[in-house]
């Protein structure tokens, strides 16, 4: 339980500020009106732990968060913005997740979508309002000449808005997603495409996870605006936190999950592991089709391999995501019905998020399947080699940002090619122990080259030098 304290909302003169849609803490309303706080994880949370004098500006995402703001409840170093719930919903679900995410991940079925109509314009106005609330809060909180690092596609307009309010600040923007190639980016209405680019170019520095995404952004700016102006472009490939993962993966709850998974898999069987949110870009359905094709075309693997698939529901307030989650569950059931025997369940599917169980699967994996249609980085591809007990062959989409660093030691696939992915799974399953161990070692080294704290500090240092 948390308590009220006045300093949570007191004016700040922070020298390092971070802005993101989701903050490091969330609140839920308990019985009797108590507020319970839960801290989040992820690369940004880990990275920020390297900085002492900082302020994190984020949005209140639910009723508990909003109530915390209204009561003046919070913690030092975090300012949560109580933006109107309807404005947030239109900006977050209507624009960020249903337009910008779809554009950057190339997800539209273009014969029928997108349709940029009056409803889109209404939602875009909410996106502008949402971004302006962040810009105004950052302008109010930042000390003279402070460094402000704005995160992701939710807040693409903030740098330009903030530049007008506080020209003294050092402003950075980091994109955690891919960036669309110019021909696809131009699906957006011309004025919106230009506004998005100019918003990010309000930053002194715009940074990306890979050179490919940075070059795509430069290409859009060149084609639409004639260049990137005074904004510098950087690349920072977020890596896995090896120390944390290795320590956490050997705690008691992970050992318990491993025992349960071993029982589900059975004796003397290999495992193909995937851990994803049921996000459209993760390509889980084609991955299951590839596994089914493996069982069809390579019958020697029947009863000798199990696909351990963790597909944790994502964005279930959007119908297309609910339908996708249902499709994943339906296909797993079909495969088990077609090939399963009394002692063998071909697909072990879990849809309830459980980090300890995910780490257990990492440790057990003989093969990791990471086949997104498109992904900014994909940390699962980096985490599995770090945690794996006995070495793991990585089957990796060439459309994942991680391919840039891990491609040389992975088995690389075209994520749309189901038969090719099935063959890659067979190659991975038949890889010799020595080769697998060698590849895993090199993958782990590449995966941990820029751990979260160093990733954040490198950006901060580069921004301060602008």
Distance CA 101, CA 350 (A): 25
Looking at residue 97, the DSSP 8-state letter turns out to be I
| Contact indicator for 100, 131 with CB cutoff of 8 Å | no
H/E element holding 294?
helix 284-297
Distance CA 95, CA 131 (A): 12
What pLDDT is attached to residue 102?
Answer: 97
What residues pair up with 205 in beta bridges, in sequence order? 172, 232
Task: Transcribe 170-233 into DSSP letters.
Answer: EEEEEE-S----HHHHTTS-HHHHHHHHHHHTTSSEEEESSHHHHHHHHHHHHHHHSS-TT-EE
Q: Give SS3 for 402.
A: coil
Distance CA 86, CA 124 (A): 13
H/E element holding 377?
none
Q: Give SS3 for 372.
A: coil
What pLDDT is attached to residue 336?
Answer: 97
| Contact indicator for 38, 450 with CB cutoff of 8 Å | no
Phi and psi for 21 in degrees, rounded to 5? Answer: -60, -50
What pLDDT is attached to residue 50?
Answer: 66
| Largest Cα–Cα separation, the chain | 69
Region class of 318: left (phi > 0), else alpha (psi between -120 and 50), else beta: beta
Lookup result for tokens 């529901």:
313
What pLDDT is attached to residue 8?
Answer: 42
Distance CA 13, CA 426 (A): 57
Distance CA 274, CA 372 (A): 11
Neighbour count for residue 1 (Cβ, 10 Å):
8
What residues pair up with 341 in beta bridges, in sequence order? 344
What pLDDT is attached to residue 22?
Answer: 92
**Which two structure tokens, joined as six digits, stand for 224?**
């639409």
**Which two structure tokens, joined as six digits, stand for 42?**
């992820």
pLDDT tens, per residue, the chain with 466 residues: 333 333 344 456 889 999 999 998 888 888 777 888 887 766 667 666 667 778 999 999 988 889 889 888 888 899 999 999 999 999 999 999 999 999 999 999 999 999 999 999 999 999 999 999 999 999 999 999 999 999 999 999 999 999 999 999 999 999 999 999 999 999 999 999 999 999 999 999 999 999 999 999 999 999 999 999 999 999 999 999 999 999 999 999 999 999 999 999 999 999 999 999 989 999 999 999 999 999 999 999 999 999 999 998 877 777 888 888 999 999 999 999 999 999 999 999 998 888 999 999 999 999 999 999 999 999 999 999 999 999 999 999 999 999 999 999 999 999 999 999 999 999 999 999 999 999 999 999 999 999 999 999 999 999 999 7
**Which two structure tokens, joined as six digits, stand for 300?**
């020697």
């Amino acid at each position: 339980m948390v308590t009220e304290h006045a300093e949570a909302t007191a004016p700040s003169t922070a020298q390092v500020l971070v802005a993101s849609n989701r903050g490091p803490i969330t609140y839920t309303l308990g019985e009797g009106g108590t507020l319970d706080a839960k801290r989040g994880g992820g690369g940004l949370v880990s990275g920020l732990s390297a900085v002492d004098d900082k302020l994190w500006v984020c949005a209140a995402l639910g009723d508990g968060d909003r109530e915390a703001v209204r009561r003046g409840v919070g913690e030092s170093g975090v300012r949560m913005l109580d933006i109107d719930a309807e404005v947030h919903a239109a900006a977050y679900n209507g624009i960020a997740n249903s337009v910008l995410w779809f554009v950057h991940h190339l997800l539209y079925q273009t014969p029928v979508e997108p349709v940029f109509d009056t409803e889109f314009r209404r939602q875009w106005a909410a996106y502008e309002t949402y971004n302006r609330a962040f810009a105004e809060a950052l302008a109010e909180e930042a000390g003279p000449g402070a460094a402000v690092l704005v995160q992701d596609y939710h807040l693409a307009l903030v740098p330009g808005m903030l530049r007008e309010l506080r020209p003294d600040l050092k402003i950075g923007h980091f994109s955690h997603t891919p960036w669309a190639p110019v021909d696809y980016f131009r699906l957006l209405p011309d004025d919106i495409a230009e506004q998005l680019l100019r918003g990010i170019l309000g930053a002194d520095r715009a940074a990306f996870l890979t050179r490919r995404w940075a070059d795509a952004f430069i290409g859009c700016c060149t084609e639409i605006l004639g260049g990137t102006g005074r904004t510098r472009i950087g690349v920072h490939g977020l890596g896995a936190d090896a120390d944390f993962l290795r320590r956490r993966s050997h705690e008691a709850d992970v050992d318990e999950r491993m025992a349960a998974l071993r029982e589900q898999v059975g004796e003397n069987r290999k495992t193909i592991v995937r851990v994803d949110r049921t996000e459209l870009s993760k390509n889980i359905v084609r991955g299951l089709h590839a596994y089914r094709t493996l069982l069809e075309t390579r019958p020697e693997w029947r009863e000798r391999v199990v696909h351990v698939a963790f597909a944790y529901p994502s964005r279930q307030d959007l119908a297309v995501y609910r339908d996708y989650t249902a499709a994943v569950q339906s296909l797993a059931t079909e495969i088990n019905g077609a090939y399963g025997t009394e002692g063998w369940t071909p697909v072990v599917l879990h849809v309830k998020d459980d980090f300890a169980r995910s780490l257990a699967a990492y440790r057990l994996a003989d093969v990791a399947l990471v086949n997104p249609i498109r992904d900014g980085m994909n940390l699962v591809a980096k985490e599995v080699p770090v945690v794996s007990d006995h070495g793991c062959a990585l089957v990796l989409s060439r459309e994942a940002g991680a391919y840039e660093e891990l491609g040389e030691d992975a088995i690389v696939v075209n994520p749309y090619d189901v038969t090719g992915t099935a063959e890659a799974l067979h190659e991975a399953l038949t890889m010799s122990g020595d080769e697998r161990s060698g590849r895993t070692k090199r993958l782990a080294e590449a995966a941990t080259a820029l751990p979260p704290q160093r990733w954040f500090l490198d950006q901060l240092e580069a921004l301060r030098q602008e």
